[in-house]
Structure 1
């Protein structure tokens, strides 16, 4: 308490001046309309700037929460896409008492799992991406991986909580793709050189193609059909063949991919089993 009195005594003149100034300004703005209006304008502008800065800071610290909410919402919407379901054949119906009633899951073909990219290479000839999901979260080998803008690669190794993805920018990567306009199917590959250029092969020269045409995954791909691959940037020809040699710019920005979706084909085991059984019969 003694220190407080000593402080007041030492700075009495200055404190008295400040108090009188505050009282004078209050009386000026309170009883003079012109000065009151000017004060309100200035104080409103200052308050608005402070509020904007505060909102910007608050928004920055809430970005992670907002981003997580968007990822969850995108996952929900992706899992409601019509092409992820198969239409039930109603021409012939087999009724079995043990079949679950009102269960749409039995007709679902694809399910999407969101994951965060925790490691990524772009400049090598064989590039890989590590994501933050594994077998404990439902992932497995050979699952397709896509981003919000296009395809990314295929899972080649998986642990309980992580998975390694063979990037589209890998010399051993092969993806069945088709032209969006005409539907002709070919193969997407990478020559290990420019991360902004993929090679699209096996499209006949009889097909009319233009620069800017879109390329998507085909029905025969590991990926769900219709996923964006990229756009054609150059039209070349394979020597001594009847096929084009097309250059495609990938729609996924591999330099900045942060969030992806691992795609589980719920009918893959059944498809693999019947195809292996058919091969054994030959």
Structure 2
């Protein structure tokens, strides 16, 4: 009897040790992600860098993206509008519009709401989610979304039929996204549909992230997001305002 109890205790102990190891590896990956060269941008030597508080590396490239680790405490995949909740919030530097990657660096979603200690993420498996993506081999871009039908397939729209694409091609985050850092996995082309009524392909894409088994993620901050978003909003108001007088 004592041997059985000790055996069960050992299994429980090993289970929690495995959890600690997973967390340790995740934190290590977080540190490595933040050191990748792609998280930095080369400083224009002909201009003065106004925001001189932005951390830079030894090559004088300033940081563009910052990664923060978080654990998933809630996740849904069975609805048309799926959300993920994380154990990090405003007190940990998390804000709306930050992108979320899984522990392998694959796209998961975007933060849409925060409380002091938690964050709510709109999953890629949400019918209102749209993310700018690109074909890895060519850089041609489109928009990834979900139709609410099959959690194992996303839809890539807006890719012209003139673009060479085939099953098995990799889809990654686009440099045109304000939220996501470029070049991170989104999925793999599973089917190419040529709609005779349009000039665009409809691609079915198998997600790179395993949404049924999300445990740890990275919340990614674009340190220039506010400036980009503000400029975009101001431009649209200025140019598209119907009351604006013609020059």
Query: Which TM-score bucket, shorter chain as reference?
Result: 0.7 to 0.9
SS at match of 1:240: coil
SS at match of 1:66: helix
In structure 2, what is the Cα distance between the partners aligned to 1:54 and 1:175? Answer: 46
In structure 2, what is the Cα distance between the partners aligned to 1:206 and 1:95? Answer: 40
In structure 1, what is the Cα distance between the partners aligned to 2:196 and 2:217? Answer: 37
Pairing partner for 1:104 from 56, 76, 96:
56
1:53-132 to structure 2, matched below 5 A, reads 59-90=14-45, 92-94=46-48, 103-104=55-56, 107-132=62-87
Pairing partner for 1:167 from 112, 123, 131:
123
In structure 2, what is the Cα distance between the partners aligned to 1:260 and 1:104? Answer: 24
| Residue deviations 1:209-256 (CA, integer Å, cap 9, x gap) | 111000001111121100100000111022411111110000101001
Which has the larger share of strand? 2
Match in the other structure for 1:184: 140
1:174–1:95 Cα change, 3 Å: closer
Match in the other structure for 1:208: 164
In structure 2, what is the Cα distance between the partners aligned to 1:248 and 1:95? Answer: 40
SS at match of 1:196: coil
Which has the larger share of helix? 1
1:1-282 to structure 2, matched below 5 A, reads 59-90=14-45, 92-94=46-48, 103-104=55-56, 107-149=62-104, 150-221=106-177, 222-282=179-239
| Displacement of 1:104 | 1.2
Structure 2 segments unaligned to the other structure (5+ residues): 1-7, 240-247
TM-score (norm 2): 0.84
TM-score (norm 1): 0.74
Cα contact 2:191–2:203 (8 A) shared by 1: yes
RMSD: 2.4
1:54–1:132 Cα change, 3 Å: closer
In structure 2, what is the Cα distance between the partners aligned to 1:81 and 1:95? Answer: 21
1:237–1:95 Cα change, 3 Å: closer
Match in the other structure for 2:3: none
1:176–1:93 Cα change, 3 Å: closer
SS at match of 2:175: coil
SS at match of 1:269: helix
In structure 1, what is the Cα distance between the partners aligned to 2:52 and 2:214? Answer: 42
| Residue deviations 1:164-220 (CA, integer Å, cap 9, x gap) | 100000000101000011111001010000000101111111121111000001111
Structure whose alpha-carbon radius of gyration is higher: 1
In structure 1, what is the Cα distance between the partners aligned to 2:14 and 2:99? Answer: 34
In structure 2, what is the Cα distance between the partners aligned to 1:231 and 1:109? Answer: 27
Match in the other structure for 2:244: none
